[in-house]
Chains A and B, each alone.
Chain A
Amino acid sequence: MQTPSELKYAPSHEWLSEDGTVGISDFAQDQLGDVVYVELPEVGRIVTAGETVAVVESVKTASDIYAPATGTITAVNDALSGGPELVNSSPYEDGWLFKMDVTEESTELTSAEEYAAANN
Protein backbone atom coordinates (compact mmCIF):
# COMPACT_ATOMS: atom_id res chain seq x y z
CA MET A 1 0.00 0.00 0.00
CA GLN A 2 1.34 3.40 -0.97
CA THR A 3 0.98 6.44 1.28
CA PRO A 4 2.92 9.39 -0.17
CA SER A 5 4.53 11.27 2.70
CA GLU A 6 3.77 14.76 1.35
CA LEU A 7 -0.01 14.22 1.81
CA LYS A 8 -2.27 14.40 4.86
CA TYR A 9 -4.85 11.70 5.48
CA ALA A 10 -8.30 11.54 7.08
CA PRO A 11 -9.37 8.50 9.15
CA SER A 12 -12.15 8.13 6.54
CA HIS A 13 -9.39 7.56 3.90
CA GLU A 14 -9.38 10.86 1.95
CA TRP A 15 -6.04 12.55 1.26
CA LEU A 16 -5.38 16.29 1.03
CA SER A 17 -2.37 17.84 -0.67
CA GLU A 18 -0.64 21.14 0.05
CA ASP A 19 -2.40 22.76 -2.95
CA GLY A 20 -5.88 21.61 -1.83
CA THR A 21 -6.27 18.55 -4.06
CA VAL A 22 -8.39 15.73 -2.59
CA GLY A 23 -8.57 12.04 -3.41
CA ILE A 24 -8.88 8.66 -1.71
CA SER A 25 -5.97 6.59 -0.50
CA ASP A 26 -4.49 3.50 -2.11
CA PHE A 27 -5.80 1.52 0.86
CA ALA A 28 -9.32 2.88 0.27
CA GLN A 29 -9.38 2.10 -3.46
CA ASP A 30 -8.17 -1.43 -2.75
CA GLN A 31 -10.87 -1.94 -0.12
CA LEU A 32 -13.58 -0.59 -2.45
CA GLY A 33 -12.61 -2.71 -5.43
CA ASP A 34 -13.46 -1.83 -9.04
CA VAL A 35 -14.72 1.76 -9.08
CA VAL A 36 -17.53 2.19 -11.62
CA TYR A 37 -18.89 5.67 -10.92
CA VAL A 38 -17.84 8.86 -9.14
CA GLU A 39 -20.25 11.65 -8.19
CA LEU A 40 -18.43 14.94 -7.68
CA PRO A 41 -19.49 18.23 -6.05
CA GLU A 42 -20.32 21.41 -7.94
CA VAL A 43 -17.54 23.90 -8.39
CA GLY A 44 -18.13 26.88 -6.14
CA ARG A 45 -19.82 24.89 -3.40
CA ILE A 46 -18.80 25.88 0.12
CA VAL A 47 -18.19 22.82 2.27
CA THR A 48 -17.47 22.12 5.92
CA ALA A 49 -14.84 19.65 7.06
CA GLY A 50 -16.48 16.25 7.57
CA GLU A 51 -19.42 16.99 5.24
CA THR A 52 -20.32 14.46 2.49
CA VAL A 53 -19.11 15.99 -0.76
CA ALA A 54 -18.75 13.13 -3.23
CA VAL A 55 -19.67 9.49 -3.71
CA VAL A 56 -17.42 6.74 -5.06
CA GLU A 57 -19.28 3.66 -6.25
CA SER A 58 -17.72 0.27 -6.73
CA VAL A 59 -19.50 -2.72 -8.25
CA LYS A 60 -20.55 -3.69 -4.76
CA THR A 61 -21.42 -0.50 -2.95
CA ALA A 62 -21.60 3.31 -2.75
CA SER A 63 -19.17 5.06 -0.39
CA ASP A 64 -19.46 8.64 0.82
CA ILE A 65 -16.42 10.92 0.53
CA TYR A 66 -16.06 13.54 3.25
CA ALA A 67 -14.45 16.96 2.91
CA PRO A 68 -11.03 16.85 4.64
CA ALA A 69 -11.21 20.61 5.12
CA THR A 70 -13.56 23.59 5.26
CA GLY A 71 -13.43 25.71 2.14
CA THR A 72 -14.69 26.13 -1.43
CA ILE A 73 -14.64 23.57 -4.26
CA THR A 74 -12.56 25.08 -7.07
CA ALA A 75 -12.27 22.20 -9.56
CA VAL A 76 -13.39 18.62 -10.12
CA ASN A 77 -11.67 15.83 -12.05
CA ASP A 78 -13.77 15.57 -15.22
CA ALA A 79 -11.69 12.60 -16.43
CA LEU A 80 -13.45 10.42 -13.85
CA SER A 81 -16.74 10.76 -15.73
CA GLY A 82 -15.44 8.58 -18.56
CA GLY A 83 -12.76 6.80 -16.57
CA PRO A 84 -13.81 6.12 -12.97
CA GLU A 85 -11.25 3.28 -12.85
CA LEU A 86 -8.52 5.96 -12.59
CA VAL A 87 -9.36 6.01 -8.86
CA ASN A 88 -8.10 2.41 -8.72
CA SER A 89 -5.14 2.69 -11.07
CA SER A 90 -3.83 6.08 -9.94
CA PRO A 91 -5.37 7.13 -6.61
CA TYR A 92 -2.80 9.88 -5.93
CA GLU A 93 -2.40 11.34 -9.43
CA ASP A 94 -4.83 10.85 -12.33
CA GLY A 95 -7.55 9.60 -9.97
CA TRP A 96 -7.83 12.77 -7.85
CA LEU A 97 -11.41 13.81 -7.07
CA PHE A 98 -11.59 17.58 -6.57
CA LYS A 99 -9.61 20.66 -5.55
CA MET A 100 -10.48 23.02 -2.71
CA ASP A 101 -9.60 26.51 -1.62
CA VAL A 102 -8.90 25.50 1.99
CA THR A 103 -9.81 27.84 4.82
CA GLU A 104 -9.32 25.34 7.62
CA GLU A 105 -8.19 21.71 7.60
CA SER A 106 -10.03 19.08 9.58
CA THR A 107 -8.44 18.51 12.97
CA GLU A 108 -8.59 14.76 12.31
CA LEU A 109 -5.99 14.73 9.50
CA THR A 110 -2.83 12.74 10.21
CA SER A 111 0.56 12.20 8.64
CA ALA A 112 1.23 9.42 6.11
CA GLU A 113 3.10 7.50 8.77
CA GLU A 114 0.23 7.60 11.27
CA TYR A 115 -2.33 6.78 8.56
CA ALA A 116 -0.32 3.80 7.32
CA ALA A 117 0.13 2.52 10.86
CA ALA A 118 -3.61 2.74 11.50
CA ASN A 119 -4.47 0.80 8.34
CA ASN A 120 -2.10 -2.10 8.46
Chain B
Amino acid sequence: MTPTSEQTLKRTPLHAAHLRAGARMVPFGGWDMPVQYSGVKAEHDAIRTGAGVFDVSHMGEFRITGPDAARFLNRVTTNDVAKLKPGRAAYNWLPNDTGGLVDDIYVYRVAEEEFFLVVNASNIEKDWAHLQQHAAGFDVTLTDESDRWGLLAVQGPQAEATLQPHSSVDLSLQKKNAFFATKLFGFDVWLARTGYTGEDGFEVFTDAAEAETVWDKLLAIGLTPAGLGARDTLRLEAGFPLYGHEFADHIHPLSSTYTWVVKNTAHLGAQHIQTAPKQKLIGLALDKVPVREGYPVQLGGAVVGHVTSGTSSPTLGHPIAMALVNAEAGDADAYDVEVRGKLHPARRVALPFYKRA
Protein backbone atom coordinates (compact mmCIF):
# COMPACT_ATOMS: atom_id res chain seq x y z
CA MET B 1 0.00 0.00 0.00
CA THR B 2 1.65 3.20 -1.15
CA PRO B 3 0.87 6.69 0.18
CA THR B 4 -0.45 7.62 -3.27
CA SER B 5 -3.10 4.90 -3.27
CA GLU B 6 -4.04 5.68 0.32
CA GLN B 7 -5.00 9.18 -0.69
CA THR B 8 -7.37 7.94 -3.36
CA LEU B 9 -9.14 5.44 -1.10
CA LYS B 10 -12.63 6.43 0.00
CA ARG B 11 -13.50 6.69 3.67
CA THR B 12 -16.71 5.83 5.50
CA PRO B 13 -18.13 8.23 8.13
CA LEU B 14 -16.51 5.94 10.75
CA HIS B 15 -12.94 6.18 9.50
CA ALA B 16 -11.71 8.24 12.45
CA ALA B 17 -13.56 5.96 14.88
CA HIS B 18 -11.76 2.92 13.44
CA LEU B 19 -8.37 4.54 13.91
CA ARG B 20 -9.34 5.44 17.50
CA ALA B 21 -10.30 1.81 18.13
CA GLY B 22 -6.87 0.65 16.96
CA ALA B 23 -8.06 -0.94 13.73
CA ARG B 24 -5.66 -2.18 11.09
CA MET B 25 -6.83 -0.54 7.87
CA VAL B 26 -6.61 -2.12 4.41
CA PRO B 27 -7.77 -1.15 0.92
CA PHE B 28 -10.98 -2.97 0.02
CA GLY B 29 -12.95 -2.31 -3.16
CA GLY B 30 -11.57 1.24 -3.32
CA TRP B 31 -12.21 1.94 0.39
CA ASP B 32 -9.89 2.25 3.37
CA MET B 33 -11.52 -0.28 5.70
CA PRO B 34 -10.75 -1.98 9.05
CA VAL B 35 -9.62 -5.58 8.55
CA GLN B 36 -9.35 -6.22 12.30
CA TYR B 37 -9.27 -4.58 15.72
CA SER B 38 -8.39 -7.14 18.44
CA GLY B 39 -7.85 -10.03 16.01
CA VAL B 40 -9.90 -12.00 13.48
CA LYS B 41 -10.46 -15.04 15.72
CA ALA B 42 -11.51 -13.00 18.76
CA GLU B 43 -13.91 -10.90 16.68
CA HIS B 44 -15.28 -13.98 14.93
CA ASP B 45 -15.89 -15.75 18.25
CA ALA B 46 -17.56 -12.66 19.73
CA ILE B 47 -20.13 -12.73 16.95
CA ARG B 48 -20.72 -16.50 17.11
CA THR B 49 -21.23 -16.42 20.88
CA GLY B 50 -22.19 -12.85 21.83
CA ALA B 51 -22.60 -9.82 19.63
CA GLY B 52 -20.44 -7.52 17.57
CA VAL B 53 -20.72 -4.68 15.10
CA PHE B 54 -19.27 -4.08 11.63
CA ASP B 55 -19.02 -0.86 9.68
CA VAL B 56 -20.59 -1.65 6.31
CA SER B 57 -21.13 2.00 5.36
CA HIS B 58 -19.03 1.43 2.25
CA MET B 59 -21.92 -0.49 0.72
CA GLY B 60 -24.13 1.43 -1.71
CA GLU B 61 -27.77 2.47 -1.26
CA PHE B 62 -30.15 3.27 -4.10
CA ARG B 63 -33.79 4.37 -3.81
CA ILE B 64 -36.23 3.45 -6.56
CA THR B 65 -39.63 5.09 -6.60
CA GLY B 66 -42.52 5.42 -9.02
CA PRO B 67 -45.56 3.60 -10.38
CA ASP B 68 -43.36 1.12 -12.30
CA ALA B 69 -40.90 0.48 -9.44
CA ALA B 70 -41.94 -3.15 -8.85
CA ARG B 71 -42.21 -3.95 -12.56
CA PHE B 72 -38.78 -2.38 -13.17
CA LEU B 73 -37.22 -4.39 -10.35
CA ASN B 74 -38.69 -7.61 -11.70
CA ARG B 75 -36.94 -6.79 -14.95
CA VAL B 76 -33.52 -6.10 -13.43
CA THR B 77 -33.61 -8.64 -10.54
CA THR B 78 -34.35 -12.39 -10.46
CA ASN B 79 -36.38 -12.61 -7.24
CA ASP B 80 -40.07 -11.63 -7.27
CA VAL B 81 -40.34 -8.20 -5.66
CA ALA B 82 -44.10 -8.14 -6.38
CA LYS B 83 -44.45 -10.62 -3.50
CA LEU B 84 -42.35 -8.48 -1.16
CA LYS B 85 -44.57 -6.60 1.32
CA PRO B 86 -43.73 -3.10 2.55
CA GLY B 87 -41.55 -3.46 5.64
CA ARG B 88 -39.88 -6.63 4.31
CA ALA B 89 -36.47 -7.22 2.74
CA ALA B 90 -35.15 -10.01 0.50
CA TYR B 91 -31.82 -11.15 -0.91
CA ASN B 92 -31.76 -10.73 -4.67
CA TRP B 93 -29.59 -10.80 -7.80
CA LEU B 94 -28.91 -8.28 -10.56
CA PRO B 95 -28.41 -10.48 -13.65
CA ASN B 96 -26.59 -9.28 -16.74
CA ASP B 97 -27.81 -10.22 -20.21
CA THR B 98 -25.20 -12.94 -20.74
CA GLY B 99 -26.06 -15.31 -17.87
CA GLY B 100 -23.86 -13.89 -15.10
CA LEU B 101 -24.47 -11.42 -12.29
CA VAL B 102 -23.80 -7.69 -12.21
CA ASP B 103 -24.10 -7.96 -8.41
CA ASP B 104 -25.92 -9.66 -5.57
CA ILE B 105 -27.98 -7.22 -3.54
CA TYR B 106 -30.62 -6.76 -0.86
CA VAL B 107 -33.99 -5.23 -1.77
CA TYR B 108 -36.14 -3.51 0.88
CA ARG B 109 -39.73 -2.57 0.13
CA VAL B 110 -40.43 0.75 1.86
CA ALA B 111 -43.92 1.29 0.35
CA GLU B 112 -45.99 0.07 -2.61
CA GLU B 113 -44.06 2.29 -5.02
CA GLU B 114 -40.80 2.70 -3.10
CA PHE B 115 -37.85 0.34 -2.80
CA PHE B 116 -34.40 0.62 -1.26
CA LEU B 117 -31.44 -1.39 -2.60
CA VAL B 118 -28.19 -2.19 -0.82
CA VAL B 119 -25.36 -3.14 -3.18
CA ASN B 120 -21.73 -4.21 -2.83
CA ALA B 121 -19.27 -1.36 -2.31
CA SER B 122 -16.99 -2.29 -5.20
CA ASN B 123 -19.98 -2.45 -7.58
CA ILE B 124 -21.74 0.84 -6.77
CA GLU B 125 -20.80 2.63 -9.99
CA LYS B 126 -21.30 -0.43 -12.17
CA ASP B 127 -24.72 -1.20 -10.64
CA TRP B 128 -25.84 2.41 -10.90
CA ALA B 129 -24.93 2.59 -14.60
CA HIS B 130 -26.60 -0.77 -15.22
CA LEU B 131 -29.86 0.27 -13.51
CA GLN B 132 -29.90 3.62 -15.30
CA GLN B 133 -29.37 1.89 -18.61
CA HIS B 134 -32.31 -0.46 -18.09
CA ALA B 135 -34.69 2.10 -16.59
CA ALA B 136 -35.65 3.46 -20.00
CA GLY B 137 -39.35 2.90 -20.65
CA PHE B 138 -40.23 2.50 -16.95
CA ASP B 139 -41.91 5.26 -14.92
CA VAL B 140 -39.34 5.18 -12.11
CA THR B 141 -36.97 7.59 -10.37
CA LEU B 142 -33.57 6.29 -9.24
CA THR B 143 -31.59 8.07 -6.53
CA ASP B 144 -28.07 7.16 -5.45
CA GLU B 145 -28.10 7.71 -1.66
CA SER B 146 -24.79 5.94 -0.98
CA ASP B 147 -23.19 9.00 0.61
CA ARG B 148 -26.21 9.78 2.76
CA TRP B 149 -26.21 6.63 4.89
CA GLY B 150 -24.06 5.08 7.54
CA LEU B 151 -24.65 1.32 7.73
CA LEU B 152 -23.73 -0.72 10.81
CA ALA B 153 -24.26 -4.47 11.05
CA VAL B 154 -24.97 -5.64 14.61
CA GLN B 155 -24.62 -9.42 14.55
CA GLY B 156 -24.63 -12.31 16.99
CA PRO B 157 -26.97 -14.32 19.24
CA GLN B 158 -27.02 -11.45 21.77
CA ALA B 159 -27.83 -8.77 19.18
CA GLU B 160 -31.51 -8.42 20.09
CA ALA B 161 -30.94 -8.42 23.85
CA THR B 162 -28.13 -5.88 23.54
CA LEU B 163 -30.07 -3.44 21.33
CA GLN B 164 -33.53 -3.77 22.92
CA PRO B 165 -33.05 -1.37 25.86
CA HIS B 166 -32.03 1.36 23.40
CA SER B 167 -34.72 0.84 20.74
CA SER B 168 -38.24 2.29 20.71
CA VAL B 169 -39.58 -0.83 18.94
CA ASP B 170 -40.21 -4.29 20.45
CA LEU B 171 -37.48 -6.15 18.53
CA SER B 172 -38.82 -9.59 19.51
CA LEU B 173 -41.82 -8.95 17.23
CA GLN B 174 -39.59 -8.21 14.24
CA LYS B 175 -38.90 -11.38 12.26
CA LYS B 176 -35.98 -12.17 9.98
CA ASN B 177 -35.94 -9.78 6.98
CA ALA B 178 -38.24 -7.24 8.68
CA PHE B 179 -37.39 -3.61 7.89
CA PHE B 180 -38.67 -0.82 10.13
CA ALA B 181 -38.06 2.68 11.45
CA THR B 182 -37.15 3.08 15.10
CA LYS B 183 -35.36 5.34 17.52
CA LEU B 184 -31.99 3.95 18.58
CA PHE B 185 -30.29 5.88 21.39
CA GLY B 186 -32.78 8.63 20.47
CA PHE B 187 -31.64 8.81 16.84
CA ASP B 188 -34.01 8.12 13.95
CA VAL B 189 -32.71 5.01 12.20
CA TRP B 190 -33.98 2.18 10.03
CA LEU B 191 -33.35 -1.32 11.30
CA ALA B 192 -33.43 -4.48 9.21
CA ARG B 193 -33.26 -7.94 10.74
CA THR B 194 -30.68 -9.04 8.19
CA GLY B 195 -26.98 -9.79 7.98
CA TYR B 196 -24.33 -11.89 6.30
CA THR B 197 -22.72 -13.80 9.15
CA GLY B 198 -25.00 -16.80 9.69
CA GLU B 199 -26.13 -15.32 13.01
CA ASP B 200 -29.20 -13.37 14.07
CA GLY B 201 -28.72 -9.62 13.92
CA PHE B 202 -29.77 -6.22 12.69
CA GLU B 203 -28.42 -3.80 10.15
CA VAL B 204 -28.71 -0.18 11.24
CA PHE B 205 -29.18 2.55 8.64
CA THR B 206 -28.23 5.91 10.14
CA ASP B 207 -27.83 9.38 8.78
CA ALA B 208 -24.14 9.53 7.73
CA ALA B 209 -23.63 12.55 10.00
CA GLU B 210 -24.89 10.58 13.04
CA ALA B 211 -23.16 7.29 12.25
CA GLU B 212 -20.10 7.93 14.40
CA THR B 213 -22.16 8.78 17.48
CA VAL B 214 -24.33 5.69 17.00
CA TRP B 215 -21.19 3.55 16.52
CA ASP B 216 -19.63 4.91 19.72
CA LYS B 217 -22.83 4.15 21.62
CA LEU B 218 -22.93 0.61 20.23
CA LEU B 219 -19.37 0.01 21.45
CA ALA B 220 -20.26 1.56 24.81
CA ILE B 221 -23.06 -1.01 25.36
CA GLY B 222 -20.57 -3.82 24.88
CA LEU B 223 -20.62 -4.72 21.20
CA THR B 224 -17.26 -5.97 19.89
CA PRO B 225 -16.04 -4.00 16.86
CA ALA B 226 -15.33 -6.47 14.05
CA GLY B 227 -13.49 -5.99 10.77
CA LEU B 228 -13.51 -7.39 7.26
CA GLY B 229 -11.36 -10.36 8.33
CA ALA B 230 -14.05 -11.72 10.66
CA ARG B 231 -16.78 -10.72 8.21
CA ASP B 232 -15.15 -13.01 5.65
CA THR B 233 -14.62 -16.01 7.97
CA LEU B 234 -18.20 -15.69 9.28
CA ARG B 235 -19.82 -15.51 5.83
CA LEU B 236 -17.64 -18.33 4.54
CA GLU B 237 -18.58 -20.65 7.43
CA ALA B 238 -22.22 -19.80 6.72
CA GLY B 239 -21.66 -20.79 3.07
CA PHE B 240 -22.66 -17.35 1.77
CA PRO B 241 -21.29 -16.49 -1.66
CA LEU B 242 -19.42 -13.22 -2.10
CA TYR B 243 -19.45 -11.20 -5.29
CA GLY B 244 -16.07 -11.32 -7.04
CA HIS B 245 -15.44 -14.80 -5.65
CA GLU B 246 -18.45 -17.13 -6.00
CA PHE B 247 -20.39 -14.72 -8.23
CA ALA B 248 -19.15 -12.59 -11.13
CA ASP B 249 -20.12 -11.27 -14.54
CA HIS B 250 -19.05 -14.56 -16.11
CA ILE B 251 -20.22 -17.09 -13.48
CA HIS B 252 -23.64 -18.73 -13.88
CA PRO B 253 -25.31 -17.91 -10.54
CA LEU B 254 -27.08 -21.27 -10.37
CA SER B 255 -23.66 -22.89 -9.97
CA SER B 256 -24.49 -22.09 -6.35
CA THR B 257 -27.37 -23.80 -4.60
CA TYR B 258 -29.32 -20.55 -4.41
CA THR B 259 -31.97 -21.60 -6.92
CA TRP B 260 -34.66 -19.89 -4.80
CA VAL B 261 -33.29 -16.45 -5.73
CA VAL B 262 -34.76 -16.93 -9.22
CA LYS B 263 -38.52 -16.42 -8.81
CA ASN B 264 -39.58 -14.47 -11.89
CA THR B 265 -39.12 -15.27 -15.57
CA ALA B 266 -39.29 -11.72 -16.96
CA HIS B 267 -35.83 -10.69 -15.85
CA LEU B 268 -32.87 -9.72 -17.97
CA GLY B 269 -30.81 -12.71 -19.11
CA ALA B 270 -33.55 -15.19 -18.13
CA GLN B 271 -32.92 -17.32 -21.22
CA HIS B 272 -29.32 -17.89 -20.08
CA ILE B 273 -30.06 -18.44 -16.42
CA GLN B 274 -32.70 -21.04 -17.34
CA THR B 275 -29.97 -23.20 -18.92
CA ALA B 276 -28.16 -25.66 -16.67
CA PRO B 277 -24.90 -24.31 -15.22
CA LYS B 278 -21.69 -25.98 -16.38
CA GLN B 279 -20.11 -25.54 -12.96
CA LYS B 280 -21.08 -26.41 -9.41
CA LEU B 281 -20.12 -24.66 -6.20
CA ILE B 282 -18.97 -27.19 -3.58
CA GLY B 283 -17.76 -27.06 0.00
CA LEU B 284 -14.37 -28.57 0.90
CA ALA B 285 -12.80 -29.37 4.27
CA LEU B 286 -9.10 -30.02 4.83
CA ASP B 287 -7.12 -31.26 7.81
CA LYS B 288 -4.44 -28.60 8.14
CA VAL B 289 -3.37 -26.66 5.10
CA PRO B 290 -5.45 -23.56 4.38
CA VAL B 291 -6.35 -23.23 0.70
CA ARG B 292 -6.89 -19.88 -0.97
CA GLU B 293 -8.72 -18.39 -3.91
CA GLY B 294 -7.41 -19.63 -7.26
CA TYR B 295 -5.80 -22.86 -6.03
CA PRO B 296 -6.54 -25.69 -8.52
CA VAL B 297 -8.92 -28.49 -7.47
CA GLN B 298 -8.17 -31.94 -8.87
CA LEU B 299 -10.24 -35.11 -9.18
CA GLY B 300 -8.49 -38.32 -10.25
CA GLY B 301 -5.41 -36.42 -11.37
CA ALA B 302 -7.24 -33.90 -13.58
CA VAL B 303 -7.92 -30.26 -12.74
CA VAL B 304 -11.72 -29.89 -12.49
CA GLY B 305 -11.99 -26.40 -10.98
CA HIS B 306 -10.55 -23.94 -8.52
CA VAL B 307 -11.02 -22.58 -5.02
CA THR B 308 -13.16 -19.40 -4.90
CA SER B 309 -12.79 -18.63 -1.16
CA GLY B 310 -10.83 -20.35 1.55
CA THR B 311 -9.81 -19.82 5.14
CA SER B 312 -9.09 -21.61 8.37
CA SER B 313 -12.48 -21.86 10.07
CA PRO B 314 -12.26 -20.37 13.57
CA THR B 315 -15.45 -22.18 14.66
CA LEU B 316 -14.62 -25.61 13.23
CA GLY B 317 -10.86 -25.46 13.81
CA HIS B 318 -9.82 -26.66 10.36
CA PRO B 319 -9.52 -25.15 6.86
CA ILE B 320 -12.67 -24.79 4.76
CA ALA B 321 -13.15 -23.61 1.20
CA MET B 322 -15.71 -23.12 -1.50
CA ALA B 323 -14.73 -24.19 -4.99
CA LEU B 324 -16.26 -23.98 -8.44
CA VAL B 325 -15.82 -27.29 -10.25
CA ASN B 326 -17.09 -28.74 -13.53
CA ALA B 327 -20.69 -29.82 -12.91
CA GLU B 328 -20.02 -33.45 -13.88
CA ALA B 329 -17.18 -33.59 -11.33
CA GLY B 330 -19.22 -32.00 -8.54
CA ASP B 331 -20.51 -35.10 -6.73
CA ALA B 332 -17.31 -36.81 -5.63
CA ASP B 333 -16.58 -37.32 -1.93
CA ALA B 334 -12.90 -36.45 -2.11
CA TYR B 335 -10.72 -34.10 -4.14
CA ASP B 336 -7.14 -32.85 -4.06
CA VAL B 337 -6.23 -29.19 -3.83
CA GLU B 338 -2.89 -28.04 -5.21
CA VAL B 339 -1.05 -25.88 -2.70
CA ARG B 340 2.34 -24.53 -3.79
CA GLY B 341 2.91 -27.47 -6.14
CA LYS B 342 1.80 -30.20 -3.71
CA LEU B 343 -1.53 -32.00 -3.60
CA HIS B 344 -3.49 -32.04 -0.34
CA PRO B 345 -6.59 -34.19 0.15
CA ALA B 346 -9.90 -32.37 0.69
CA ARG B 347 -13.27 -33.95 1.40
CA ARG B 348 -16.49 -32.54 0.05
CA VAL B 349 -18.84 -31.36 2.79
CA ALA B 350 -22.34 -29.94 2.61
CA LEU B 351 -22.82 -26.17 2.55
CA PRO B 352 -23.19 -24.32 4.83
CA PHE B 353 -20.19 -25.40 6.91
CA TYR B 354 -21.82 -23.88 9.96
CA LYS B 355 -25.48 -23.44 10.89
CA ARG B 356 -26.58 -21.73 14.07
CA ALA B 357 -28.45 -23.87 16.58
Q: Which residues of A contact B307 (CB under 8 A)?
A: none
The answer to whether A33 and B40 touch (CB under 8 A), given A59-B233, A59-B311, is: yes
Are B340 and A55 interface neighbours, CB within 8 A? yes
Q: Indicate whether B290 reaches chain A with its CB closer than 8 angstroms.
A: yes
Q: Which residues of A contact B244 (CB under 8 A)?
A: none
Most-contacted residue by chain A among B36, B233, B288, B314 (CB, 10 A): B288
Most-contacted residue by chain B among A36, A57, A81 (CB, 10 A): A36
Shortest C-beta distance, B233 to chain A (Å), equals: 6
Chain B 15-37: CB-based contact to A (< 8 A → 1; otherwise 0):
00000000010000000000110
Are B292 and A34 interface neighbours, CB within 8 A? no
Q: Which residues of A contact B232 (CB under 8 A)?
A: 60
Q: For B340, give its contact among A31, A34, A39, A60 (CB under 8 Å).
A: A39
Q: Indicate whether B197 reaches chain A with its CB closer than 8 angstroms.
A: no
Shortest C-beta distance, A54 to chain B (Å), equals: 11
B276-301 contacts to A (CB < 8 Å): 288-290, 292
Q: Indicate whether B222 reaches chain A with its CB closer than 8 angstroms.
A: no
A18 vs B340: C-alpha distance when bound (angstroms): 31
Are B39 and A34 interface neighbours, CB within 8 A? yes
For chain B, what secondary structure do more than half of its interface residues adopt (helix, strand, loop), or is it mixed? mixed
Chain A interface: which size bin? 10 to 19
The answer to whether A59 and B340 touch (CB under 8 A), given A34-B39, A39-B289, is: no
A58 vs B40: C-alpha distance when bound (angstroms): 9
Are A37 and B233 interface neighbours, CB within 8 A? no
Q: Indicate whether B148 reaches chain A with its CB closer than 8 angstroms.
A: no
The answer to whether A59 and B312 touch (CB under 8 A), given A33-B229, A34-B39, A34-B41, is: yes
Are A33 and B312 interface neighbours, CB within 8 A? no
The answer to whether A57 and B290 touch (CB under 8 A), given A33-B229, A34-B41, A37-B312, is: yes
The answer to whether A33 and B36 touch (CB under 8 A), given A59-B229, A59-B314, A60-B229, is: yes
The answer to whether A37 and B340 touch (CB under 8 A), given A59-B229, A60-B229, is: no
Q: Which residues of B contact A57 (CB under 8 A)?
A: 289-290, 312
A37 vs B292: C-alpha distance when bound (angstroms): 13
Q: For B290, give its contact among A31, A33, A62, A81 (CB under 8 Å).
A: A62
Chain B 312-348: CB-based contact to A (< 8 A → 1; otherwise 0):
1010000100000000000000000000100000000
Closest to A34 in B: B41
Q: Which residues of A contact B292 (CB under 8 A)?
A: 61-62
A81 vs B39: C-alpha distance when bound (angstroms): 21
A113 vs B35: C-alpha distance when bound (angstroms): 29
The answer to whether A60 and B40 touch (CB under 8 A), given A33-B229, A36-B312, A39-B340, is: yes
9 A-B pairs closest in CB distance: A36-B312, A59-B40, A34-B41, A57-B290, A60-B229, A37-B290, A59-B312, A33-B40, A33-B39
